Amino acid sequence: MTEALKLNRLLKEQGENSSYHHTSNKKDGASDLKKDMSSQRAMSLTSSPHELRRQVPERSGPDRKDDELVLTWNRIQESHMYQNKPLLPFEEWNIDFSELTVGTRVGIGFFAEVFRGMWNGTEVAIKVFLEQDLSAENMEDFCNEISILSRARHPNVILFLGACAKPPHLSMVTEYMEMGSLYHLIHVSGHKNRLSWPKRLNMLRDICRGLMCLHRMKIVHRDLKSANCLVNKRWTVKICDFGLSRIMTDASMRNSTSAGTPEWMAPELIRNEPFTEKCDIFSFGVIMWELYTLHRPWEGVPPERVIYAVANQGSRLELPEGPLGSLIADCWAEPNKRPSCEEILTRLLSNELSLYYK
């Protein structure tokens, strides 16, 4: 993906508070959604979901651009066979785009937008990859996200339900998280007063358990942040958005393209140095800081200034007092000195942490 496109998406993300936000707190969410969509079918989706509600007449005759997309897609898909298995090895995971009913947009990413929708009578989240952004690189990211997310089955990782793997309507379907992103809950919703310390501590444990599952599978998220942690109506937190994730093959990997969001990024990622799963530990430290203070990290500081300060000056956010501050400091140490998810979870489960901030 080009740096200009990434910057454009980043600015949109900061404007809309990213990834996934809560759109309704009504009890009857499914029936409310049906009314909201009022027969708006996914087949009427235009090249930009920003114009979702505008009906577009069907094109007649061959479309050269679509043909090129299909050729590129087929070439990429052939390169994403794992152990002689296709990208979607189970027929149940292949979803026809006409089966989807697309509703309100609830989030935006680097090259896709997320919608609340319906599939087979079930409320779901639909990640639609924008047609105008369907470069070969973005298609590879789409394949990468599916191959990783479909393998990670854990209560604290977003549940993959299937995908439409036919361009130009490349889409991915996951479970819908009613309360939206943790970022939205803390900084936008106006409900952060409902986040008691025990509830926040449970959220941190959820994220840590999900991250521990990923790391045991040799998966590095590379874009862990509060906007990529979703919350359901039972206040369970699940990690999402694996477009920038990678599977570890060596002791360390080199970052060939910029990845992550400046306020949460580990310095080694910013500097394009070799990285391990410990880059996610740094980001988790920022989330811990965020949930403790209930403030935006580096609020008011331009992203380019954050990048320079963290990567070149060793700057860090101000640490809270007590055992949590000590844990955060350890997460922000040099990569080889950062704790593992298992160590962090042990400390998050300790009585000391529960009692100190009671």
For residue 7, the surrounding DSSP H or E stretch is helix 3-16
Across 55-69, 134-148, 255-269, least confident range: 55-69
Nearby residues of 199 by Cβ (< 8 Å), 6 or more positions away: 235
- Strand 237-239 and strand 219-220: the pairing is unpaired
> Residues 164, 195: one domain?
no
- Number of domains within the chain: 2
* Structural domain boundaries, residue 37: 3-175
Domain of 276, CATH number, reads 1.10.510.10
Confidence of residue 43 (pLDDT cuts 50, 70, 90): very low
Higher pLDDT, 28 or 325: 325
pTM: 0.82
> Residues 227, 208: one domain?
yes
CA atoms within 13 A on the CB side of 256: 5
> Residues 70, 124: one domain?
yes
For residue 106, the surrounding DSSP H or E stretch is strand 100-108
Domain of 11, CATH number, reads 3.30.200.20
> Residues 225, 135: one domain?
no
Domain end call among 175, 199, 215: 175
First to last CA, the chain: 46
> Residues 110, 195: one domain?
no
> Residues 138, 19: one domain?
yes
Nearby residues of 121 by Cβ (< 8 Å), 6 or more positions away: 30
Confidence of residue 86 (pLDDT cuts 50, 70, 90): confident
pLDDT in tens, 261-305: 999 999 999 999 999 999 999 999 999 999 999 999 999 999 999
Domain end call among 141, 157, 175: 175
Q: Which of 133, 223, 241, 280 is catalytic?
A: 223
pLDDT in tens, 311-355: 999 999 999 999 999 999 999 999 999 999 999 999 999 977 777
* 127 assigned binding-site residue: yes
Task: Give the whole-angstrom CA distance, residue 282 versus residue 157.
Answer: 19
Higher pLDDT, 80 or 163: 163
66 is catalytic: no
